[in-house]
């Protein structure tokens, strides 16, 4: 299945300009997404998952800039593009057609003043020049694919007439109608209740099987990771600190932070009260990160050597980690 | 929808009724004998009695009120004391300059303020944005008679680009007359464009920060389409509202501007009527302007329905 990476992010840095100077939100984000697979990007709130997603699509807020790094993307025509340096005019042809995105908030991500048919159909107008009855037909087909009941009627609904789960289906239809190669899903189910969440995840898996796109799946829910991902990249304070295939990561977490994260998953065999308080302390504010390993101040295994900058390295094939004591973490487990 | 319009029409009738009542009361509230006031200090008691009888002021108040309402509903707003003609026909003569002045100045302010407001919102924080906001503040705080006098002096008297004042003679053609309205419309338009600019900018700024704008960008469209299609429609409701409000301000603006440029419109008429204590004309203008304002409000509210399908009344 794997035909080489479709996207590799290398040393991505993003800074936000503010009145009090620049704040570095992403310090060192590196990961590889293999074609046709799902990579879960996990991490606590504020670790930089959304900023990473937006940077890939060139949609950073006005005050945000990519200050270093590469976003190597293999376009459908075989060219390798660096999305960090792609001119806007070229980017427009990629957005929506080759890479599309669904967002966390289905309530606010759709324009309240246009029908859903209009909003989905606009993709066909933009990228295929399709209009009129042919366009409407394609939109109805797509609504059917995302299992929206009575699509021929629903196409003329406005977002406020639909539930959160239905709107997220609309977002998925919108994102996938031009059959993109890469789908970025930024916590697409976080705002939904549990049953709806499961339905949306099922739907995404089915559509991936049918359409074969690669997915970058942003989440902070390890349960969702286990269900959806082929590979996992773990972020901490603006950097990816570990990447591995999902089974490998769950079996052999090699970064103390990843271990803590996995230990904090609520499990039925472990009563709520006994849940390991795995990670003491909290994420330091972005402005005051240490120059070395950002996790060191909270790490039970930290040594003076952790004050030196540390990058990702292969601990075994396909498993990369940014910790000088990864071998000991593994041996300990 | 139909029910809503019906409700609004009923509401309108009530408001018109209130306006008529207020117009009626105002004249009666003036201290002293209205007839004596209208006639001025030189009038004899006999004159006053005669006028009272002519205006029906000698009859009991409820009878006066009923007569006034019934007449008004039939389009009879009384006789002008000064012109000795029906108020409505006096007003009708003065409608043209005021209506076109209002229309032109509104068009000017919308044409200036709308694109500029959108542009500076998009380029928020830029030099152009900051200058536009400051200039708009200035324009809104300078009294319009001052702007009027300055522009009249430089653009009309010195440069001769516009006629300085008046509305052409009795045999001026329609186009001539409209020419006389250009400079006054600009003066009035400047003041209103400041207001519309600030509203457009604020409304656009709000919308541009919304999630669905990010969604629009993620679809791969040009920034122009993002702003003019996806943002503009959402920003439109506050903008439509302020344009509607501006229309109301135009009425008071017209009074001042027509004075400065000596235009025989309703603004000038009402000022004259106040000075001459021509109460029926004051009453009539009040009723006509208020009714117009109610109609514009209704039009604005109906426009909301067209723009935003979520709006349910
Ligand atoms: N427009 C902005 N200006 C300044 N800082 C920003 C901006 N957007 C994001 N940040 C900062 O970047 C950091 C990463 O934010 P991001 O939204 O990527 O977190 P996240 O991992 O997606 O969290 P969550 O799970 O809560 O969605 C945060 O510290 C945030 O404060
Ligand atoms: Mg996020």
pLDDT, tens digit, 9 for 90 and up, residues B106-138: 999 999 999 999 999 999 888 888 898 888 888
3-state helix, strand, coil in chain B (%, to 5): 80, 0, 20
Give the per-residue pLDDT at B15.
Answer: 87
Contact B219 A122 (CB under 8 A): yes
The tens digit of pLDDT for each residue in B163-196 reads 877 787 778 788 888 888 888 898 888 888 888 9
CA distance A199 to A205: 10
How many whole angstroms separate alpha carbon B162 and alpha carbon B156? 5
pLDDT at B151 over 90: no
Domain boundary among A179, A201, A236: A179
Q: Residue A230: inside a domain, yes or no?
A: no
Residue A146 maps to a domain: yes
- What average pLDDT does this structure show over A13-37? 92
Choose the final residue of a domain: A126, A151, A179.
Answer: A179
Size of interface A-B (CB pairs under 8 A): 67
Least confident of A258-267, A292-301, B112-121, B220-229: A258-267
Query: Nearest Cβ partner of B212 from A96, A111, A126?
Result: A111
Residue nearest to atom 4 of ligand 1 (CA): A16
Q: Which domain holds residue A133?
A: 106-179
CA-A218 nearest atom, ligand 1:
22
Residue whose CA lies nearest to ligand 1 atom number 29: A46
CATH fold of B88-307: MetI-like fold (1.10.3720)
Look up residue B303 and give its two tokens. Answer: 């426009």
- Domain boundary (A157, A179, A201) is at A179
Residue A188 lies in a domain: no
Phi, psi of A9 (to 5 degrees): -95, 125
Q: d(Cα B125, Cα B119) in Å, to the nearest integer?
A: 11
pLDDT range class, residue A267, cuts 50, 70, 90? low
In a domain, A280, yes or no: yes
Q: What is the pLDDT of residues B245-300, one digit of tens each?
A: 887 777 778 888 888 888 888 888 988 888 887 888 888 888 888 888 888 888 88
Cβ density class B107-129: b for 16+ within 10 Å, e for less: ebbbebbbebbbbbbbeeeeeeb
DSSP E strand stretches across chain B: none
Q: How many domains does chain A have?
A: 2
CA–CA separation, B40 and B15 (whole Å): 33
Pocket lining for ligand 1, CB < 6 angstroms: A 16, 18, 23, 25, 43, 45-51, 61, 63-64, 220, 286
Count of residues in chain B = 313
CB A262 within 8 A of CB A329: no
Cα A47 to averaged position of ligand 1 atoms, centre (Å)? 7
Q: Which of B214, B220, B234 minimises the CB distance to A96?
A: B220
Q: Is residue A209 included in any domain, yes or no?
A: no
This model of the complex carries an ipTM of 0.89
Question: What six digits make up the tokens of A29?
Answer: 């984000």
Residues B76-109: tens digit of each pLDDT: 888 887 888 898 888 888 888 888 898 899 999 9
Domain with CATH 1.10.3720.10 in chain B: 88-307
């Amino acid at each position: 299945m794997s035909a080489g990476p479709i996207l590799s992010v290398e040393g991505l840095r993003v800074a936000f300009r503010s009145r009090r100077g620049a704040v570095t939100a992403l310090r060192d984000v590196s990961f590889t997404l293999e074609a046709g697979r799902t990579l879960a990007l996990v991490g606590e709130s504020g670790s930089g998952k959304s900023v990473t997603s937006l940077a890939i699509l060139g949609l950073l807020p006005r005050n945000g800039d990519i200050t270093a790094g590469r976003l190597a993307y293999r376009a459908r025509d075989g060219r390798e593009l660096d999305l960090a340096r792609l001119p806007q005019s070229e980017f427009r042809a990629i957005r929506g057609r080759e890479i599309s995105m669904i967002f966390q908030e289905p309530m606010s991500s759709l324009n309240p003043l246009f029908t859903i048919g209009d909003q989905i159909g606009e993709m066909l107008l933009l990228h295929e020049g399709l209009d009129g009855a042919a366009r409407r037909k394609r939109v109805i087909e797509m609504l059917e694919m995302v299992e929206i009941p009575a699509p021929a009627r629903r196409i003329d609904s406005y977002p406020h007439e639909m539930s959160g789960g239905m709107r997220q289906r609309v977002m998925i239809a919108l994102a996938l109608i031009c059959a993109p190669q890469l789908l970025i899903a930024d916590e697409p189910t976080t705002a939904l209740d549990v049953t709806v969440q499961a339905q949306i995840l099922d739907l995404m898996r089915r559509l991936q099987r049918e359409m074969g796109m690669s997915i970058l799946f942003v989440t902070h829910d390890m349960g969702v990771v286990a269900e959806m991902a082929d590979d996992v990249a773990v972020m901490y304070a603006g950097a990816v600190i570990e990447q591995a295939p999902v089974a490998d990561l769950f079996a052999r977490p090699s970064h103390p932070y990843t271990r803590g994260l996995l230990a904090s998953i609520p499990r039925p065999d472990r009563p709520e009260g006994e849940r390991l308080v795995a990670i003491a302390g909290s994420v330091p504010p972005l402005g005051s990160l240490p120059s070395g390993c950002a996790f060191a101040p909270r790490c039970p295994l930290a040594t003076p050597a952790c004050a030196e900058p540390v990058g990702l390295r292969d601990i075994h094939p396909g498993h990369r980690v940014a910790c000088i004591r990864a071998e000991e973490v593994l041996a300990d487990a | 929808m139909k029910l809503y319009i019906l409700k609004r029409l009923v509401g309108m009738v009530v408001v018109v009724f209130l306006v008529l009542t207020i117009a009626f009361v105002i004249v009666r509230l003036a201290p002293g004998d209205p007839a004596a006031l209208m006639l001025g200090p030189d009038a004899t008691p006999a004159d006053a009695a005669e006028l009272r009888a002519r205006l029906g002021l000698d009859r009991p108040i409820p009878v006066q009120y009923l007569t006034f309402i019934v007449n008004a509903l039939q389009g009879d707003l009384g006789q002008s004391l000064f012109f000795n003609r029906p108020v409505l026909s006096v007003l009708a003569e003065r409608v043209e300059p005021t209506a076109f002045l209002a229309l032109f100045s509104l068009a000017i302010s919308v044409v200036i303020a709308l694109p500029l407001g959108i542009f500076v919102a998009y380029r928020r924080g830029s030099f152009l944005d900051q200058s536009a906001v400051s200039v708009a503040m200035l324009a809104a705080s300078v009294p319009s008679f001052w702007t009027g006098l300055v522009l009249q002096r430089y653009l009309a008297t010195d440069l001769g680009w516009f006629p300085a004042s008046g509305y052409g003679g009795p045999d001026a053609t329609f186009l001539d007359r409209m020419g006389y309205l250009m400079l006054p419309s600009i003066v009035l338009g400047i003041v209103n464009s400041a207001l519309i600019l600030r509203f457009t900018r604020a409304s656009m700024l709000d919308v541009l920060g919304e999630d669905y704008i990010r969604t629009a960008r993620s679809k791969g469209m040009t920034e122009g389409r993002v702003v003019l299609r996806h943002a503009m429609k959402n920003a439109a409701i506050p903008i439509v509202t302020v344009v509607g409000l501006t229309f109301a301000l135009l009425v008071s603006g017209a009074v001042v501007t027509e004075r400065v440029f000596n235009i025989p419109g309703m603004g000038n008429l009402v000022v004259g009527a106040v000075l001459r204590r021509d109460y029926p004309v004051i009453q009539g203008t009040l009723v006509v302007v208020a009714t117009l304002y109610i109609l514009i409000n209704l039009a604005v509210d109906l426009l909301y329905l067209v723009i935003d399908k979520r709006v349910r009344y």
